[in-house]
Amino acid sequence: MKHGSFFWFVLPSVILMILFIALPIVSVVTQSLYTQHEQVIVTVENCGPFGCTEAQSVDQEATQALRDAQPLGKFAGLDVYKDRNHLAITDVARAWENSDSFRGFWNTLMNLPFYGALSFTLTYTAIVTPMTILLGFAVAIAVNSVARSLRGPTIFFSLLPMIVTPLVGALILFWMVDARGILGTGLQWLANDPTLSVKASTPMMWIMLMVYGTWSSIPFAFIVYYAGLQTVNQDTLEAAMIDGASRWERIRYVVIPHLAPLTTFIALIQLMDNFRVFEPIISFQAQAHARSLSIAIFTDLGGETRLLSSAAATSVLTIVFVAILLSPVLVRTWRDFGTSK
């Protein structure tokens, strides 16, 4: 295709992506280097019958004027990154010196907002992604080996957890595990503890969030694997069988290698989606027990005072982690393209 016509064809799409994806990223990076203006303090002398006192008060008008004149705030360099809500360099250093065991250091670290959010996000991603792949594969194998009449309904109902709005799907589960809901009551009965409440316990909350994450993405892995299973070479399977391969050996040496490229694809999509885990935490009202990086940004942006700089710094750190996460894939895609030319 000629350069000229290519340019006109991609122009609208590229303009949109530059304006609303690339520039906001630049704007986030800039914002993270600035911090909000401090309030303008004026000293007022109050003279009364008993002498004069000096009082300090906030000059609201001047503060507002200053903030309006420079909406970005004042330049702070990397200060926002170093503060307690982000990398917390001084706190980490102090904790490292003061704690006598690694465990103590770890506990202090997890109580710092950024490291707490990071550890939840990474744990969530590291557990939900393989669980999704394993269970999705199991469902696909099972669907493939039952009668055809069951396949249609399976695909239909399986699509539900994935297609439904994440906020809604998580809410539905949350209401069911509520202490007064059917699953919550069932858990209390199983554990023989009438006071058991998922909402009140951090480990239970983490488990529920991961159960939701797995539940809502199994369908995706299942559908992709199921489509892949339809293209397994039947002759190879039969040949393996004639050579005496058992059922398991056929799965292990014929089916799994055939599905390997699909696993890479599912893992890539799941890593990207799990790393941004956001809606379930809102639905489960779990901010007290589990905060992800997205939640940290969302909390900074909401509320009375919008902490734009703090949100921006967390955003930049998140982008760095996304880049690290994606780097193997990017390098591989780049190399593949290089060899294919």
Partner 1 sequence: MSTATQRPLNVRFLATSFLVLWLILAAFPFLWTVWGSFKVEGDFFSKADWANSMFGTLTQAETGGAFTGAGYFGAWIQEEFWRAALNTTIVCFFVVTISLTCGTLAAYALSRSTYRYAFWLLLFALIFRATPPIILVSGYLLPFFEWNLWGHLSTTIIVLVAINQPFTLWMLHSFFKNIPKDLDESAMVDGCTRFQAFRHVIIPIMWPGVITTGLFSFLLAYNDFAVTQMLLSKENQTVVPKLFSFLGTTQTKGNVMFAVAAVVSITAPLFVMIVFFQRQIVSGLTAGAVKG
Q: Is 76 in the site for partner 1 (CB under 8 A)?
A: no
Q: Is 267 in the site for partner 1 (CB under 8 A)?
A: no
CB under 8 A: which stretch of 41-49, 95-103, 108-116, 237-245 binds partner 1?
Answer: 237-245
Strands 51-58 and 74-75: unpaired
Q: Is 47 in the site for partner 1 (CB under 8 A)?
A: no
Residue 86, Cβ neighbours under 10 Å: how many?
22
CB under 8 A: which stretch of 58-66, 84-92, 103-111, 166-174 binds partner 1?
Answer: 166-174
Q: Is 322 in the site for partner 1 (CB under 8 A)?
A: yes
CB under 8 A: which stretch of 22-30, 42-50, 82-90, 95-103 binds partner 1?
Answer: 22-30
By beta-carbon proximity to partner 1, the closer residue of 107 and 327 is 327
8 Å CB contact between 286 and 212: no
8 Å CB contact between 243 and 101: no
Binding mask 273-292 for partner 1 (x = CB under 8 A): --xx-xx--x--x-------
By beta-carbon proximity to partner 1, the closer residue of 21 and 55 is 21
Q: Is 150 in the site for partner 1 (CB under 8 A)?
A: yes
Q: What is the 3-state secondary structure (H, E, C) of 140-166?
A: HHHHHHCCHHHHHHHHHHHHHHHHCCH
8 Å CB contact between 197 and 174: no
How many of the chain's residues bind partner 1 (CB under 8 A)?
109
Identity of residue 118: L
Identity of residue 15: I
By beta-carbon proximity to partner 1, the closer residue of 109 and 296 is 296
Binding mask 192-221 for partner 1 (x = CB under 8 A): -----------------------x--xxx-
27-46 residues near partner 1, rule: CB under 8 A: 27-28, 31
By beta-carbon proximity to partner 1, the closer residue of 266 and 290 is 266
297-316 residues near partner 1, rule: CB under 8 A: 297-298, 300-302, 306, 308, 311-312, 315
Could you give the C-alpha distances from 253 to 140, 173, 223, 230, 259, in angstroms and in order?
A: 17, 38, 21, 17, 11
Q: Is 83 in the site for partner 1 (CB under 8 A)?
A: no
Question: H-type helices in the chain, by residue range?
Answer: 3-17, 23-32, 60-69, 79-82, 89-98, 102-111, 113-145, 151-163, 166-177, 182-191, 202-229, 234-242, 247-250, 256-275, 279-283, 293-301, 308-340
Q: Who contacts 143 (Cβ-Cβ below 8 Å, separation ≥6)?
A: 150, 151, 154, 155, 222, 226
Q: How far is the CB of 24 from partner 1 (least distance, A)?
A: 3
By beta-carbon proximity to partner 1, the closer residue of 22 and 44 is 22
